[in-house]
Structure 1
Amino acid sequence: MRRSAVLDRTMPGYPAPCHWRRVPATGQHYLDAGAGDPVLFPHGNPSWSYVWRKLVAQLSPHVRCLVPDLPGFGLSRHLRAASAPAALYRTRLDHLDALHRHLVGDRGLPERGWTFVVHDWGGPLGIAWSLRQPGVMARLVVCNTVAFPWPAGFRLPFSLRCIRDSTLVADAVHLTNGFARAAVRIGVHHRLPAAERRAFLRPFARRAERRAVTDAVRAIPRDTTDPAWKLLEPTRPGTGPESVPLLIGWGMRDPVFTPLVLAEWARRYPHAVIHRFPDAGHFVMEDAADEFGARVRDFLRGPPCP
C-alpha cells in the first residue's frame, strides 16, 4: 500500500496503515509487519511503537514483527486517570495477555516460540509477562533496561527521582511535557531530525494524552523491597532469561541505564552475548540502528533453546 504524503511528513519511517491493528477486547494499537516467527517489541517510557520503526524495517523481511503501544501510549487508548503503581503494572500485563490471546486466536500465530525485544520499561514488563505465560518466550533481546532490583551502587538520576518522589514536580512535568521533550534529545547521542522528534512527541501533544508518561515514572521501584520486583521472580525454575538464548545490545552513553546495570546483566546471565555500542545513548535502536539491527537479525537465525 502506498504511504500517504501526510504520514511521511508526520511520522517519517513509520509503517503504513496496512500494518496497523487493534486488539478488539482492549482497543490496544499494535503494528503487524512481516511473516515468519513472531517477534514482540515492548517499548519503554516516554516512547511508543515509533521507536522500533528502523528495526521493523530491517527485520520484517525475515520475521513477523508485532509492536504494541502500551496502554496510554502512542496510538493506544489513553488512560483517564493515574493508577497506583501495582494497578499500573497489572493493567499493562493484562493488556499483553489480551494481545497474545488475540494474536493466537484471531490472527493464527503460534502460542509459543516468540522472540522478545525489550527496552526501558518494556524490559520488566515483557519479562514479567513471559513469567506469567511460561514457554511463550524462546529468545530474548535486551537493550538498555532492567529486570532485577537495582544493583548495588546504582542511583537513579536526580531528575527522575524528583518526578517520582514529588507530586509538585510530576505535575509540572506533566503540564509542560518536559520528560518526553528531554528524552528525545538526551536519550540519543546522534541528534534526531526535527521531523522524527516531532513524531516521537505527537501522541503526547495534549495534556490529557500524556498521563501515562508521568505515571510510569512515578511507578519506578525505589529499592529492593519494592513489590514490583516480585513480578520478576520466576514461579518455577527454568522460566526466566537464564533459560533462553539472550542477546544484549547496550548504548554505553545512556544516562539512566549505565554500564553498572549492564554489568549486572552479565553477572546474572553469563550465557548472554553482549554487544556494546560506545556511541549510542539510551535509544540504542536509533543511534546504532544498522549495526544493532544486523546483530538481531543474525541472532534470530540461530536455533531457539529446546
Structure 2
Amino acid sequence: MNETLYPFHTETLDRGGLRYHYVDEGPRDGPVVLMVHGNPTWSFYWRNLILALRDTHRVIAPDHMGCGRSDKPSAEDYDYTLRSRIADLGALIDHLELRDITLVVHDWGGGVGFGWAVDHPDRVVRMVVLNTAAFHLPAGKSFPAALSLARIPGLGAALVRGANAFVRGANRFCVTRRPLPPEVAAGYIEPYRSWSDRVAVHRFVTDIPLRPEDPAYAIIEATQAGLSRLADKPMFIGWGMRDFVFDHHFLAEWERHFPAAEVHRFPDCGHYILEDAREELVPEIALFIRAGAVEGAGRDDSAEPAPAESRA
C-alpha cells in the first residue's frame, strides 16, 4: 500500500502476547477522539478524518485483533467474539488513560464502542455514529442474504477466507456514489491476503447475534438497554441511505434512542460513507467535534453546511 495514504504514528498494546495495533496521532494533551472500525475494514477507514483532526485532537484508532496491522491469531489462540473486542478496547482506553472521549463508530464499531461506553458513560462526552448499530436487528428489517451466505458452515469459510469475497465485495458494493480508487481498494485488501489473515473477517460475520443462544446476544441486549445512559450527550449521525445492511430501519432506531441527534442523510451513498461522502462528511464531523471541544460551546447554525439532501 502507498504509505502516503496512511502516514500515521502507530503503537501496539500487548494483549496476552498478541499485538493490538492502534494509531495515536495529535497532541497528547489534546481532546480525545476514539475511532472504532467495523468489518472488513481497519483503521485505514478513518484516514481522512484522522488527518482533519490530528492538528488539534489526540486521535486514537485501534485495529481489532485479526484486523489491519494487529496480530492475526488462529481461532484457537484468540476468542473472536464481541466480548473480547470490548475487552480489548477497554484495555487500550485504560492503558492510555483516556477520558472525555468523543466516540466515533462505524459498522461493528457500534457494538464494540457502545458496548464499552454504556458501562463508562462518565468517560464519553459526545458520539459520532456512521452506518452502524448497538442494538438488535430492528423490527421490519430482514437479515441480508449476503451475510446469511457467509454464515453457512463450510461455504461461508470458502467464500470469506478462501476467495476473500467479503473484502472484495465490500470494496465493490459498499460504495455507491463512485468506485474506490485502485490504491484505496488495495489499502482495504492489504491486511487480508491469505486464508489465515481473514479469520477475523469471517468470525465477525458468524458472531452477529440473531438468537438468544448466540454468544453476543446478551451483550447487545445489555448495550441496547444501556443506551439511555448516554442520551444526554451530543450525537452526530452521518448515514449513507443506500447501505443494504444498515439501512433506514437502523437509522430510525438510532433516532428513537437519541431524538436530539444531529442527523445528516446522504441519499446516494452506501455503507462506506466516509469514502462516498468524504468531501462533505469529514468537514461536518470535524466541525461537530471541534465545536464540542470548547467547554460550553454550541453549534453555530449560521455556519453549518447545507443539509445533505439539498446538495447537488
- TM-score by length of structure 2 reads 0.85
145 and 83 in structure 1: CA distance in 2 versus 1, 3 angstrom threshold: farther
Q: 2:49 aligns with which of 39, 50, 55?
A: 55
Using the TM superposition, give the Cα deviation of residue 241 of structure 1 relative to its aligned residue in structure 2, in angstroms.
Answer: 3.4
Q: Secondary structure at the match of 1:112?
A: coil
> Which range moves more in the overlay, 129-138 or 73-82?
129-138
Residue 302 of structure 1: aligned partner: 291
Instruction: List, as ranges, runs of 4+ consecutive aligned residues in structure 1 with deviation greater than 4 Å.
Output: 82-85, 223-227, 234-239
The root-mean-square deviation of aligned C-alpha atoms, in Å, is: 2.4
Residue 6 of structure 1: aligned partner: none
Distance 1:83 1:186 in 2: 32
Residue 219 of structure 2: aligned partner: 231
Deviation string for 1:159-218 (max 9, x for gaps)?
101212x11221211111111110011011211111111111010001111100000000
Q: How does 1:103-122 map to 2 (within 5 A)?
A: 103-104=96-97, 111-122=98-109
Distance 1:131 1:160 in 2: 27
Gaps of 5+ in 2: 297-312
Distance 2:252 2:22 in 1: 32
Q: How does 1:249-260 map to 2 (within 5 A)?
A: 249-260=238-249
Q: Secondary structure at the match of 1:204?
A: coil
Deviation string for 1:81-136 (max 9, x for gaps)?
16998x611211121122112212xxxxxx42100000000111100011233312
Q: How does 1:83-122 map to 2 (within 5 A)?
A: 88-104=81-97, 111-122=98-109
What is the total number of aligned residue pairs between the two structures?
288
1:82–1:211 CA contact under 8 A, matched in 2: no
Residue 19 of structure 2: aligned partner: 27
Instruction: Tell me: higher relative CO, structure 1 or 2? Use CA pairs within 8 A at least 6 residues apart.
Output: 1
1:70–1:92 CA contact under 8 A, matched in 2: yes
237 and 249 in structure 1: CA distance in 2 versus 1, 3 angstrom threshold: closer
Identity across matched positions, percent: 38
Q: Secondary structure at the match of 1:23?
A: strand
Q: 1:194 aligns with which of 148, 163, 182?
A: 182
Asked if 1:209 corresponds to 2:191, the answer is: no
Residue 289 of structure 1: aligned partner: 278
Q: How does 1:252-291 map to 2 (within 5 A)?
A: 252-291=241-280
Q: Secondary structure at the match of 1:148?
A: coil
225 and 250 in structure 1: CA distance in 2 versus 1, 3 angstrom threshold: farther
Q: Secondary structure at the match of 2:128?
A: strand
Distance 1:156 1:122 in 2: 19
Distance 2:229 2:267 in 1: 28
Distance 2:174 2:107 in 1: 11
Distance 1:237 1:93 in 2: 15
Using the TM superposition, give the Cα deviation of residue 12 of structure 1 relative to its aligned residue in structure 2, in angstroms.
Answer: 4.4
Residue 39 of structure 1: aligned partner: 33
2:135–2:223 CA contact under 8 A, matched in 1: no
Residue identity matched to 1:33: E
Asked if 1:167 corresponds to 2:153, the answer is: yes
2:72–2:200 CA contact under 8 A, matched in 1: yes
- TM-score by length of structure 1 reads 0.87
Distance 1:253 1:38 in 2: 31
Q: Secondary structure at the match of 1:132?
A: coil
Distance 1:129 1:239 in 2: 14
